Amino acid sequence: MVNQTNNLKKNLNLLTLTLLSTLSIVSNVHAAGVSPMGALGDLTASMMEDRGPAVIKRKVAVVDNGFDVNHPELKKNLSKGYNGRDNTNDVNASIIMDKNHHDVGKIANHGTHVAGIVAGITPNVELVPYKTGARGHRTTAGIVADLKEILNKDDETIVNLSFGFNWNDMIDPIVALAQKGKTVVLAAGNEGEFVYDQYISSHGKMLSQILKGLSGRVVFVAATETKEGVQKLTSFSNKASPTMSEFFIAAHGKNVNSTVPFDTDVTGKKEFSGTSMAAPVYAAAIRKLADRFGVTEDRAREALFTTAKKLDPKMGQGVMDFPAAWNLLKGEATLPVTY
């Protein structure tokens, strides 16, 4: 287990500089002998390093196409999951094409990669994998079945959805999750377009009206990259329109190095870019803050929104600044925090 953690750390580069509150923090981290860590690429040591034991420990549900459950850098993190598409517990790195045939490999790249991002940032996290099936085989009914399963799991308090869907189809299960107190983290999308408000016919309301009633528990995550030392939205990332801005935040999502099945890459790692990568960075940040300080996911999320760097209105609330959120919660902590 120690070797697996060390291997994971060796394969992480520095987390995006915008997660640091100042460049002096970077200097201090390196002066203290803390090396760049993790499987995520361009993530700061400040976010990735061990910040002490968790006060509480809750789970992250990752809903995605499939997972390499035997990957050595994920095996200790993945618990028993659920396959809503096929109504089984088979979430492995294959999609069931029929009862006798499994097509293993690249179609599980996405879920394995997303799960690896969360595990890289929060090495002791318990991830619960929910399989939807690969694109072309994914069904709305299967996704809804996964979300209904999560609804009944009280300790699965953060849900990562790094894929697109029709809001009219998915609004009810997402609302139910948020009303149960769970934080639902959504990839904003990779079309390079604005995410506009829309009418949800089944509720007779605009989407923004529905989300306003969910205490901020549904969050869109846009993707950024570092250009000349400044975090900017990637060309592919969807953007926050004015009416959706309060539900948006941005996090690093360019050339993120994380776990993949070994028949995809012999190293078991590969760089992907997308809001699908930015979303689990944000989900993991909530998990790490909530667990370390013993606060609710709501409070951790609020801290990340409050401290985000307001660089571009198209990013919504701004670019996530993990050290600033950490320091905010540290100042509020009723229990002693030594770091």
Confidence label for 207 from pLDDT (cuts 50, 70 and 90): very high
pLDDT more than 90, % of the chain: 63
| Rounded Cα–Cα distance for residues 84 and 147 (Å) | 8
pLDDT recorded at residue 96: 36
**Among 323, 276, 293, 237, which Cα is nearest to 118's?**
276
Poorest-pLDDT segment among 40-54, 151-165, 283-297: 40-54
Poorest-pLDDT segment among 131-140, 263-272, 304-313: 131-140
pLDDT digits (tens, 9 = 90+) for 7-40: 444 443 333 333 333 222 222 222 222 222 233 4
Confidence label for 334 from pLDDT (cuts 50, 70 and 90): low
Could you tell me how far CA 330 lies from the centroid of its own chain? 22
* Identity of residue 23: L
Residue 292 clears pLDDT 70, i.e. is over it: yes
Domain ranges, ordered by start, for the chain: 51-332
**Contact by Cβ (8 Å): 40, 71:** no
Q: Report which listed range, 83-97, 135-149, 208-222, is most confident.
A: 208-222
pLDDT recorded at residue 73: 93
Return the higher-pLDDT residue of 124 and 100: 124
CATH topology classification for 51-332: Rossmann fold (3.40.50)
Beta pairing partners, 59: 156
- Token pair for residue 182? 């769970």
**Among 272, 306, 308, 301, which Cα is nearest to 284's?**
301
How would DSSP label each residue in 235-304?
SS--EE-GGGGGGEEEEE-SSEEEE--TTT-TTSEEEE-SHHHHHHHHHHHHHHHHHHHT--HHHHHHHH
Residue 6 clears pLDDT 50, i.e. is over it: no
Mean pLDDT across 167-184: 98
Q: Angle 329-122-48 (CA atoms, 0-180°, nearest 5)?
A: 75
Q: Where are the beta strands (DSSP E) in 122-182?
A: 127-131, 156-161
pLDDT recorded at residue 51: 54
Going by DSSP bridges, is the β-strand pair 183-187/156-161 parallel, antiparallel, or unpaired?
A: parallel
pLDDT recorded at residue 195: 98
Mean pLDDT of the chain: 81
